[in-house]
Structure 1
Amino acid sequence: MLRTVPVDGSPRSVATLADALAAALDGTGPAVRPVAADAPPTPGPTGELPEGAAVVVSTSGSTGEPKHVVLTAAALTASARATEERLGGPGRWVLPLPAEHVAGVQVIVRALLAGAPPQVQDVRAGFRPAGFARTTARLPHGARRYTSLVPTQLLRVLREGSGPLDALRGYAAVLVGGAALDPALREQAREAGVRVVTTYGMSETAGGCVYDGVPLDGVTVDIDDGRILLGGPTVAAGYLGDPAATAESFAGGRFRTGDLGRLDDGRLTVLGRADDVVVTGGENVAPAAVERVLSAQPGVRDVCVVGVPDGEWGAVVAAAVVADGDFERDGVAAAVRAELGRAAVPRRWLAVGEIPLRGIGKPDRAEVRRLLSATTTTEQTSPIR
């Protein structure tokens, strides 16, 4: 049996989900499928749940094709306990994330296993730094504090400063995941006194399972033909109602991700999505590598790099940039050329007010690609000097 629980970002709806999760974890209630209350109605997953199933997280990913990830109580518990061990012990949690995503589910699970439900920020009108500070203030005085953010939320708190930043400084650890964390943003947070821990993982691994490049206890990381393989007790049981996709992605207790990576003395560096690689004039360019160089340049506040079709080159590297007034395209292009080579230099540029996002805070690369493909050559270059 599978119980669908709608959540709308309100503390009340998250409390209902938390009660359902608690019952699913201890086996007294059915498995739970959290969904956004305002999501368009779609057919629910079908198929037989495996023994021990506690949560089904439905995620469309970048392709828009729904997948229904089955997480057992054992996998969720293993992830929560390993996180607790890595961070230095149990604590009280604040949830500022949408609870229908695996990161939100795991905040609830960690909090429940630590002995108390999380304090929930009301995000029905979106994330507000001031609201985060008010939610933090509801935690017991002197309690060890944890929270989980996406990079966009971290950036907003840092920009707000004052009370919200003071609140964030009081956390023993601030997990940041859901999208790549710009090294410059991480350094800004560190200098502001925020204890950031970067996380890497996905629904299929019960959320983050690699912290600051180091796998949690029991988690294995391997590289196969450039692809990251994750194993251990946090790996999902598969996709509900999709045995073909399960067989393709899960084998031997490991999940084959769609990400490229490398291991250096046991520390993982994620190089980006394998299907995001741009083949331009016969050269392979990883957008994540270009984004790292661009993000480090003066005047660049945010960036998303994609490939767009081109009649001459097959595809060209293109960049949507959120920039300050002192951004100079020639200078940043030279920096990319010096570090990554000529093929990696974006041939198309577009200034945007913000990078389109999807889901929990990942760049919407399909929308960025559409924007860059739809512009003319003049429009691509004129907004950025």
Structure 2
Amino acid sequence: MTASLRPVAGAPRDVHALVRAWVRDGGDPVVVRTSGSTGEPKDVILSHAAVTSSARASLERLGGPGGWLLAMPVTGVGGLQVLVRSALAGLDPVLVDEHDGLAAAIDAIPGDRRYASLVPTQVHRLVEAGRVGALRSLDALLIGGAAAPPELLDALDGVRVVRTYGMSETSGGCVYDGVPLDGVRLRVDDAGQVHVGGTVLFDGYADPAATAAVLRDGWFATADLGTIDAAGRLRVTGRSDDVVISGGVNIGLPAVTRALRGLDGVRDAIALGVPDDEWGTRVVAFVVPDTGAGAPPLHVVRDGVEASGLPRTWAPREIVLIDGLPLLPGGKVDRVALRRR
């Protein structure tokens, strides 16, 4: 028997009351839904033991319980963990909907220690709005949900940033700055695929067949690729679906995305693979141009990608201009929506 957070109506504080009682008294697992950024969302079953184990390990790594800023949907694992960590500290989180109220919201966080958890898109908007100063008073800013570009981290001078890695299936972030939390095990197989084990793992999906495909012998096979160094530190190098084969050539889409974002006149961009009768997979550049900039010609984009040091065969074969990258509630790019374009 499971209880889903998704149908709960009312304000985040109403949900917080339910979560606080659940943390205190235990009970049935909860169900959260994955973001669906690369495919169909899945219902993830999380036990009380897994969620609270993750929250306690997080607080221990950060330096102890404290107050939290709630800037994520409470129906996702990121928002859920903010509520659980707050409940363990006996404090109410401070809700903020827009970055305009960030400074006042941070000042209102209770407790001797103050934390926030944001996705890179939220942090990017704060940087663009010139509101980094408000983040410097935090004891830690957790950034997760997607890889944070180096230039974004460079812009957070004076902010104690903790880069987190995890997903709904691991009760949220389970690796902080490459180091697994207590109770978390990591391994990388011969193909470079990252596997996670330990106390934070989900019980399975609502779909047993989907569970069997990724959960075996206490290990969860993620969709991520990475390496583990001699000190046990994880470095995520990409996703298994971030490498596409186009015309017989293996193409790393994250590298193409980085090259696109470095081109003149491009405010934001992402490279994705779409099915193609001739190439098998066609690399498409979804480009958000700078204000006032015209559409960059395809040959200029292809030349620019090659000039960045990538093979010419990696360059996009199509450009789609958009006003902005579509985002899911958790801040990830909605790749499914883009591919529909």
**Could you tell me the TM-score, scaled by structure 2's length?**
0.88
Residue among 143, 160, 166 paired with 2:133:
166
Partner residue, 1:261: 226
Where does the alignment leave 5 or more consecutive residues of structure 2 unmatched?
none
Partner residue, 1:176: 143
- Structure 1 residue 243 corresponds to structure 2 residue 201: no
Offset at residue 84 of structure 1 (A): 1.3
Determine if contact 1:357/1:363 at 8 Å carries over to the other structure.
Answer: yes
Specify the SS of the correspondent of 2:74.
coil
Matching residue's letter, 1:358: L
Residue among 234, 241, 252 paired with 2:200:
234
Partner residue, 1:48: none
Partner residue, 2:19: 21
Q: Deviations over 1:142-181 (max 9, x none)?
A: 83210011111111111112xx432212111111112221
Going from structure 1 to structure 2, the CA distance change for 1:247 and 1:313 (only over 3 Å counts) comes to closer
Spell out the pairing of 1:374-385 with structure 2 (5 A cutoff).
none
Residue among 98, 101, 108 paired with 2:73:
98
**Could you tell me the TM-score, scaled by structure 1's length?**
0.78
Offset at residue 64 of structure 1 (A): 5.3
Residue among 275, 281, 284 paired with 1:315:
281
Q: Give me the whole-angstrom Cα distance separating, in 2, the residues matched to 1:215 and 1:19.
A: 30
Spell out the pairing of 1:132-281 with structure 2 (5 A cutoff).
132-140=102-110, 143-161=112-130, 164-189=131-156, 191=157, 193-224=158-189, 225-240=191-206, 242-265=207-230, 266-281=232-247
Determine if contact 1:178/1:360 at 8 Å carries over to the other structure.
Answer: yes
Offset at residue 85 of structure 1 (A): 2.0
Matching residue's letter, 1:333: V
Q: Give me the whole-angstrom Cα distance separating, in 1, the residues matched to 2:262 and 2:226.
A: 21
Spell out the pairing of 1:43-122 with structure 2 (5 A cutoff).
53=29, 55-59=30-34, 61-62=36-37, 65-121=40-96
Q: Give me the whole-angstrom Cα distance separating, in 1, the residues matched to 2:245 and 2:101.
A: 44
The structure showing larger relative contact order (alpha-carbon pairs under 8 Å, at least 6 residues apart) is 2
Determine if contact 2:259/2:305 at 8 Å carries over to the other structure.
Answer: no
Offset at residue 2 of structure 1 (A): 4.2
Q: Deviations over 1:49-85 (max 9, x none)?
A: xxxx2x2112362465442211112111211122112
Matching residue's letter, 2:269: V
Task: Please say which of residues 290-299 and 271-280 is displaced more in the overlay.
Answer: 290-299
Determine if contact 1:184/1:296 at 8 Å carries over to the other structure.
Answer: no
Offset at residue 195 of structure 1 (A): 2.2
Matching residue's letter, 1:332: G
- Structure 1 residue 291 corresponds to structure 2 residue 257: yes
Determine if contact 2:187/2:196 at 8 Å carries over to the other structure.
Answer: yes
Matching residue's letter, 1:148: S
User: CA RMSD for the aligned pairs?
Assistant: 2.5
Offset at residue 108 of structure 1 (A): 0.7
Offset at residue 25 of structure 1 (A): 2.2
Q: Deviations over 1:9-32 (max 9, x none)?
A: xxx72122112112222336x54x
Q: Give me the whole-angstrom Cα distance separating, in 2, the residues matched to 1:24 and 1:228.
A: 31
Q: Give me the whole-angstrom Cα distance separating, in 1, the residues matched to 2:208 and 2:302.
A: 50
Question: Aligned residue pairs: how many?
Answer: 332
Q: Give me the whole-angstrom Cα distance separating, in 2, the residues matched to 1:234 and 1:286.
A: 30
Quote the sequence identity (%).
48
Determine if contact 1:99/1:105 at 8 Å carries over to the other structure.
Answer: yes
Q: Give me the whole-angstrom Cα distance separating, in 1, the residues matched to 2:62 and 2:261.
A: 28
Specify the SS of the correspondent of 1:357.
coil
Offset at residue 304 of structure 1 (A): 1.3
Determine if contact 2:38/2:334 at 8 Å carries over to the other structure.
Answer: no
Task: Please say which of residues 55-64 and 244-253 is displaced more in the overlay.
Answer: 55-64
Specify the SS of the correspondent of 2:84.
helix
Q: Give me the whole-angstrom Cα distance separating, in 2, the residues matched to 1:66 and 1:244.
A: 15
Q: Deviations over 1:245-297 (max 9, x none)?
A: 22221122221112222233333232333234211111121212322344455
- Structure 1 residue 333 corresponds to structure 2 residue 305: yes
Q: Give me the whole-angstrom Cα distance separating, in 2, the residues matched to 1:97 and 1:277.
A: 30
Residue among 343, 346, 358 paired with 2:316:
346
Where does the alignment leave 5 or more consecutive residues of structure 1 unmatched?
32-52, 372-385
